[in-house]
Amino acid sequence: MNAINIRLSRSKQSRSDFALEVDLTLPNQGVTALFGRSGSGKTTLLRCLAGLEKNHQGQIAFNEAIWQSEAGDFLPVHKRPIGYVFQEASLFPHLSARDNLAFATKRANKEESVIAYQDVIDLLNIASLLEQFPHQLSGGERQRIAIARALLIQPKLLLMDEPLSALDEGLKKDILPYLEAVCSNMSIPILYVSHSLDEVIRLAQYTVIMDQGKIVDQGETQYLLGKLSTSRYTYQNTRFMIIGQITQQDEQWGLSTLSFGQHSLMISRTHEVIGDTVKLQIQARDVSIALSANEDSSIINRLAVYIDDISHNEADPNTVLVRMMAGQTPILASITAYSAQKLNLAIGQHVIAQIKSVAVLR
């Protein structure tokens, strides 16, 4: 049983409280995002896993180990093999950055240490910050030290509670690459709480959507985003992902070809080499639908697809969301209800999806 099993429930204690009702099995590898708006219960769920919340009934099992049981077993926080990154940088103010890290290394399980000190320092680029005290560091620097500290405790599971939410936009952009490096270099499973779709798309292979204390949907991030029902949780920012390999580099026009299944897209020349995997993020409003493959258009990316699902946008009744399949890959288009009516779009119909612009995630 190699997975993280969580079954928790708690009834409302007061009117401002919410009921957490969760039965969840999560992969014990890669990055899993807990996504939802604030107050959806995702942070509470993470705190339950860490053992920081005690008043929830249920069972939590990590692989073979029982952390909490219906019978009342409760493994205290400091005995759980976790690392925890809090929303705001939570460095001990009376210790230098180096001593904050030493706080973890001193208490880490030395027999099972797999994460090397120097690797963590290099990964988060913090060698030059170690002599500083927390109040001398910027918010982003503090958070990098906090992430390093959580890794140096040698966790078997890393829990991150919106580690970027306390930072301003500019700093977020600075830290995201470090987080991506942590996520792709660490062999331990990571649970990442976020209300930012951008972070989820960049970091998580698997996503769980929460709302009002309940799990509303879950699945591989790419396929979850490609479901129309997901759009009600992403609001105006409905978007989807394409993951493919670079198969061709065109020097003359500065274009790269990205292939996925039987399909391919042209994107502006990337630094990647042929064979590399590239992740694209596309806004549903940047995709339009044509009934025939008209060649008289400036749009170069046209995919032969079929319509799989259509729904009205709950936030805006004048737009319609259309889900099309390019092989196994979902493509979403946000079009006006007027166009949908005029083109007489129907499920099962073969159409051409025209993609105006793509963003390469790296």
User: Which one among 135, 271, 275, 344 touches other proteins, defined by CB under 8 A?
Assistant: 135
Those residues whose C-beta lies under 8 Å from the C-beta of residue 295, and which sit 6 or more positions away, are none
* Closest CB to other proteins among residues 15, 78: 78
Tell me if residue 104 falls in helix, strand or coil: helix
Those residues whose C-beta lies under 8 Å from the C-beta of residue 313, and which sit 6 or more positions away, are 231, 238, 319, 320, 321, 334
Q: For residues 197-228, b (16+ Cβ closer than 10 Å) or e, as one string?
A: bbbbbbbbbbbbbbbebbbbebebbbebbbbb
User: Which one among 93, 254, 317, 348 touches other proteins, defined by CB under 8 A?
Assistant: 93
Q: Give me 192's structure tokens.
A: 């990442």
* Closest CB to other proteins among residues 160, 310: 160
Task: Kindly state the smallest distance separating residue 142's Cβ from other proteins, in Å.
Answer: 6
Answer yes or no whether residue 48 interacts with other proteins by CB under 8 A. Answer: no
**To 10 degrees, what angle do helices 117-124 and 139-152 make?**
160
* Closest CB to other proteins among residues 77, 266: 77
Answer yes or no whether residue 144 interacts with other proteins by CB under 8 A. Answer: no
Name the amino acid, one letter, at 58.
G
Answer yes or no whether residue 142 interacts with other proteins by CB under 8 A. Answer: yes
Give first-to-last CA distance, the chain, whole Å: 34
Measured on CA atoms in the order 183, 29, 162, 145, is the torsion positive or negative? negative
- Note whether 178 and 123 are within 8 A (CB): yes
Those residues whose C-beta lies under 8 Å from the C-beta of residue 314, and which sit 6 or more positions away, are 232
Q: Give me 182's structure tokens.
A: 């942590």
Task: Kindly state the smallest distance separating residue 211's Cβ from other proteins, in Å.
Answer: 26
Binding mask 103-132 for other proteins (x = CB under 8 A): xx--xxx-----------------------
Measured on CA atoms in the order 78, 83, 88, 94, is the torsion positive or negative? positive
* Closest CB to other proteins among residues 108, 320: 108
Answer yes or no whether residue 52 interacts with other proteins by CB under 8 A. Answer: yes
Q: Give me 287's structure tokens.
A: 């995709």
* Closest CB to other proteins among residues 84, 260: 84
Task: Kindly state the smallest distance separating residue 184's Cβ from other proteins, in Å.
Answer: 23
* Closest CB to other proteins among residues 86, 117: 86
* Closest CB to other proteins among residues 135, 342: 135
User: Which one among 34, 91, 333, 355 touches other proteins, defined by CB under 8 A?
Assistant: 91
Size of the site for other proteins (CB under 8 A): 30
The region of 61-69, 122-130, 135-143, 327-335 touching other proteins under the rule CB under 8 A is 135-143
User: Which one among 32, 68, 96, 134 touches other proteins, defined by CB under 8 A?
Assistant: 134
The region of 18-26, 85-93, 243-251, 332-340 touching other proteins under the rule CB under 8 A is 85-93
Q: How far apart are CA 338 and CA 320, in angstroms?
A: 9
Answer yes or no whether residue 83 interacts with other proteins by CB under 8 A. Answer: yes
Residues forming contacts to other proteins in the complex (CB under 8 A) are: 50-52, 76-79, 82-84, 86, 88-94, 103-104, 107-109, 134-135, 137, 142, 149-150, 153
